[in-house]
Protein backbone atom coordinates (compact mmCIF):
# COMPACT_ATOMS: atom_id res chain seq x y z
CA UNK A 1 0.00 0.00 0.00
CA UNK A 2 1.33 3.39 -0.93
CA UNK A 3 1.78 6.15 1.57
CA UNK A 4 -0.92 8.36 -0.03
CA UNK A 5 -3.42 5.46 0.10
CA UNK A 6 -2.70 4.97 3.78
CA UNK A 7 -3.22 8.68 4.48
CA UNK A 8 -6.55 8.65 2.63
CA UNK A 9 -7.68 5.53 4.51
CA UNK A 10 -6.76 7.15 7.84
CA UNK A 11 -8.64 10.35 6.85
CA UNK A 12 -11.71 8.28 5.93
CA UNK A 13 -11.68 6.55 9.34
CA UNK A 14 -11.39 9.89 11.16
CA UNK A 15 -14.31 11.36 9.18
CA UNK A 16 -16.43 8.25 9.84
CA UNK A 17 -15.76 8.45 13.59
CA UNK A 18 -16.58 12.18 13.66
CA UNK A 19 -19.87 11.58 11.84
CA UNK A 20 -20.74 8.75 14.22
CA UNK A 21 -20.20 10.99 17.26
CA UNK A 22 -22.27 13.84 15.77
CA UNK A 23 -25.18 11.61 14.74
CA UNK A 24 -25.17 9.67 18.01
CA UNK A 25 -25.07 12.87 20.06
CA UNK A 26 -28.14 14.33 18.35
CA UNK A 27 -30.37 11.28 18.83
CA UNK A 28 -33.28 12.21 21.14
CA UNK A 29 -33.79 9.99 24.17
CA UNK A 30 -35.64 10.12 27.48
CA UNK A 31 -33.93 9.70 30.84
CA UNK A 32 -35.44 9.56 34.34
CA UNK A 33 -33.95 11.37 37.33
CA UNK A 34 -34.87 11.37 41.03
CA UNK A 35 -35.36 14.95 42.22
CA UNK A 36 -35.98 15.91 45.88
CA UNK A 37 -39.22 17.59 46.99
CA UNK A 38 -39.25 20.74 49.11
CA UNK A 39 -42.51 21.81 50.81
CA UNK A 40 -43.30 25.50 51.30
CA UNK A 41 -45.74 25.58 54.22
CA UNK A 42 -47.88 28.34 55.73
CA UNK A 43 -46.70 29.92 58.99
CA UNK A 44 -47.20 27.78 62.10
CA UNK A 45 -48.05 24.70 60.04
CA UNK A 46 -46.65 21.44 61.39
CA UNK A 47 -44.20 19.50 59.21
CA UNK A 48 -45.80 17.28 56.59
CA UNK A 49 -44.84 13.63 56.23
CA UNK A 50 -47.43 12.86 53.55
CA UNK A 51 -45.47 14.49 50.71
CA UNK A 52 -43.06 12.26 48.80
CA UNK A 53 -39.39 12.82 49.60
CA UNK A 54 -38.57 12.77 45.90
CA UNK A 55 -40.27 12.54 42.52
CA UNK A 56 -39.19 10.92 39.26
CA UNK A 57 -38.70 13.44 36.47
CA UNK A 58 -38.52 12.17 32.86
CA UNK A 59 -36.46 14.52 30.67
CA UNK A 60 -36.29 14.30 26.86
CA UNK A 61 -33.54 15.68 24.67
CA UNK A 62 -30.36 14.92 22.75
CA UNK A 63 -28.36 12.00 24.12
CA UNK A 64 -25.19 14.09 24.40
CA UNK A 65 -26.89 16.65 26.67
CA UNK A 66 -28.64 14.09 28.87
CA UNK A 67 -25.42 12.15 29.34
CA UNK A 68 -23.81 15.10 31.14
CA UNK A 69 -26.92 16.40 32.95
CA UNK A 70 -26.53 16.56 36.72
CA UNK A 71 -29.87 15.74 38.43
CA UNK A 72 -29.01 18.13 41.27
CA UNK A 73 -29.33 21.06 38.85
CA UNK A 74 -32.97 20.19 38.05
CA UNK A 75 -34.52 20.71 41.47
CA UNK A 76 -35.66 20.63 44.13
CA UNK A 77 -39.34 20.46 43.19
CA UNK A 78 -41.03 23.10 45.35
CA UNK A 79 -44.60 22.38 46.40
CA UNK A 80 -46.19 25.58 47.67
CA UNK A 81 -49.23 25.18 49.91
CA UNK A 82 -48.96 28.57 51.67
CA UNK A 83 -52.22 29.90 50.19
CA UNK A 84 -54.23 26.88 51.27
CA UNK A 85 -56.45 26.83 54.31
CA UNK A 86 -56.68 23.90 56.68
CA UNK A 87 -57.99 20.43 55.91
CA UNK A 88 -57.48 18.52 52.68
CA UNK A 89 -55.15 20.42 50.33
CA UNK A 90 -54.34 19.41 46.77
CA UNK A 91 -50.75 19.85 45.62
CA UNK A 92 -49.23 19.68 42.18
CA UNK A 93 -45.61 19.47 41.00
CA UNK A 94 -45.10 21.77 38.02
CA UNK A 95 -42.52 21.25 35.30
CA UNK A 96 -42.06 25.03 34.98
CA UNK A 97 -40.56 25.13 38.48
CA UNK A 98 -37.64 22.91 37.44
CA UNK A 99 -34.33 24.25 36.10
CA UNK A 100 -34.16 22.41 32.77
CA UNK A 101 -31.20 23.34 30.52
CA UNK A 102 -31.83 24.71 27.03
CA UNK A 103 -32.64 22.00 24.48
CA UNK A 104 -34.19 19.64 27.03
CA UNK A 105 -37.83 19.32 28.10
CA UNK A 106 -39.70 17.65 30.95
CA UNK A 107 -41.94 14.83 29.71
CA UNK A 108 -43.45 13.80 33.04
CA UNK A 109 -43.24 14.04 36.81
CA UNK A 110 -44.28 11.03 38.91
CA UNK A 111 -46.13 11.53 41.22
CA UNK A 112 -47.27 14.87 39.81
CA UNK A 113 -50.09 15.59 42.23
CA UNK A 114 -51.81 14.46 45.40
CA UNK A 115 -53.56 15.62 48.53
CA UNK A 116 -52.35 16.20 52.05
CA UNK A 117 -54.08 16.91 55.35
CA UNK A 118 -52.89 20.34 56.42
CA UNK A 119 -53.77 21.36 59.96
CA UNK A 120 -52.56 24.65 61.40
CA UNK A 121 -51.18 24.84 64.90
CA UNK A 122 -53.80 26.06 67.38
CA UNK A 123 -51.28 28.12 69.38
Hey, where are the domains in the chain? 27-118
pLDDT at 120: 56
Using CA atoms, how far residue 112 sits from 16, 48, 70, in Å, is: 44, 17, 21
pLDDT at 75: 84
Q: Mean pLDDT in runs of 10 for the chain (123 residues)?
A: 83 90 75 90 72 92 87 87 75 89 92 80 47
CATH of domain 27-118: 2.170.120.30
Question: Of 98, 96, 91, whose CA–CA distance to 51 is shortest?
Answer: 91
Dihedral (CA of 62, 66, 67, 73) sign: positive
Predicted TM-score (pTM) above 0.75: no
pLDDT at 123: 45
Amino acid sequence: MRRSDLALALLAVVIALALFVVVRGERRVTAAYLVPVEAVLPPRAPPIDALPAEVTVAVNGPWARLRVLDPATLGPVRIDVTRAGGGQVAWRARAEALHVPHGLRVESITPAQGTIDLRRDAR
